[in-house]
Every structure is written in C-alpha cells, then in structure tokens.
C-alpha cells in the first residue's frame, strides 16, 4: 500500500468506526452492542441532584417493634446473609420494589420466598423507597424522604 492509498484507507477506517459506533448508540441506547465497535458514550449523562433508591428495613423482631427500623444486614442475628451477596440482595430489593409498585403478586411471592429463607427468627420487614441528595448521602447517609411501599411478616 503506498502513502496516498494508506491515507485514504486510514480516513475511511476512522469515519467507518465513528459511524458504526455512533450508529450502535443511536439504534439501541440501553443495550448498545456492535462488538467490537463502540460509541464511547460513557458517563454521558450527569446524575440527577435528587435520586431515589430502595431498601429493606427490619421493622419488628419477635413481635416487638423496633424503635428505629434498621437495614437487614445490620442485624445478622435476625437475617443471615450466608449464601447471598450484598449485590444479590440489592438486586432482590430492586425487583421487590418494582414488583410491589407494579402489583405483580406472583413475583412478590417468589421474592418473599427468596428473602425469608434467610430469617432466623420471627420478624417483620418493610420495603422502602427513599429519596436523597447524592452528595449528602455520600457524606452522612442522609435521606431526604422515604415512603413504605409494603410491610411483610415473615412466613405470613
């Protein structure tokens, strides 16, 4: 390949790469995949100033209501995390919350079964949606507001 043709080839390749990469993003933002091409649209959206999340809080143990609900993982004497990683628990929590909001009762039952097998005693728990400023949450885990989506008694 001579110098002049090499220039044309490189130009064509760069344009083609950009075209395919951008095209992959334009046609499927969430599952963009045109392996091995890529749009390089990484971290393109600035996260919002108010964000929301879900968690599961322990509300009562052996019939006694807790003064302040606590995260399941903060009570290993009640909830055993053996066999479930934090990431898996987080995924279960997300699915649980969305199932409650979508009133998908079968999925709710299935997720309850997956979760309640880890309880070692009689307890009740709540699925909570909370809003927070990510900067404040990072500094001191401060939550702006929260609502209980649903409360469940283990085994019932």
Partner 1 sequence: MNMSISPAKIMKDAYARLSDTLDNFIKGGTDFEKAKAIVPFFYYFLFFIAFTHLEGLNHTIAEGASGFTPRFPLFWAPYVEYGTVVTLVFLTWVGTSLLACLFPYIRTVRIFAFVGFLQYHAYVASFGQPNHQWDHWLWISLILVFLPGLTREPSVETRRTFSLVFWGAQAFLLLTYTMAGIGKLTYAFIQFSQGQAHAFSPDAGALYAATQLNLMQETVPLAGIIISHPWLAWLPFLILLELQTFALVAAFRPQLHRIWGFGLILFHIGTFLTMRAVFTAPSALLLLFLLASPFAPEKKKWNETLSSIPLFGRLFQYVTKRIESGRNIN
Residues that bind partner 1 (CB under 8 A): 1-3, 6-7, 9-11, 13-14, 17-18, 21-22, 25, 33, 35-36, 38-49, 51, 86, 134-135, 137-139
Give min distance, CB of 41 to partner 1, in A. Answer: 4
Neighbours of 126 (CB within 10 A): 18
Is 40 or 98 the residue whose CB approaches partner 1 more closely? 40
Give min distance, CB of 137 to partner 1, in A. Answer: 6
Neighbour-count burial of 68, counting CB atoms closer than 10 A to its CB (0-12 exposed, 13-18 middle, 19+ buried): exposed
The residues near 47 (Cβ < 8 Å, ≥ 6 apart) are 134
Is 3 or 106 the residue whose CB approaches partner 1 more closely? 3
Could you tell me the sign of the dihedral formed by the alpha carbons of 42, 46, 52, 57, in that order? positive
Give min distance, CB of 39 to partner 1, in A. Answer: 6
Indicate the DSSP class of residue 83. T
Is 48 or 63 the residue whose CB approaches partner 1 more closely? 48
Is 20 or 150 the residue whose CB approaches partner 1 more closely? 20
Reading the block at residue 147, the tokens are 């609502």
Reading the block at residue 25, the tokens are 């993003």
Give min distance, CB of 104 to partner 1, in A. Answer: 25
């Amino acid at each position: 390949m001579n110098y002049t043709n090499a220039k044309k080839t490189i130009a064509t390749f760069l344009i083609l790469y950009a075209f395919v990469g951008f095209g992959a993003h334009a046609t499927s933002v969430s599952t963009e995949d045109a392996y091995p091409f890529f749009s390089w649209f990484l971290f393109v959206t600035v996260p919002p100033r108010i964000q929301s999340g879900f968690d599961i809080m322990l509300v009562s143990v052996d019939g006694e209501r807790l003064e302040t609900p606590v995260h399941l993982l903060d009570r290993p004497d009640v909830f055993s995390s053996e066999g479930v990683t934090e990431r898996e628990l987080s995924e279960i929590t997300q699915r649980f919350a969305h199932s409650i909001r979508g009133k998908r009762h079968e999925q709710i039952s299935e997720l309850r079964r997956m979760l309640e097998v880890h309880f070692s005693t009689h307890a009740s728990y709540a699925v909570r949606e909370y809003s927070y400023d990510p900067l404040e949450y990072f500094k001191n885990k401060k939550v702006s507001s929260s609502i209980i989506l649903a409360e469940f008694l283990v085994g019932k």
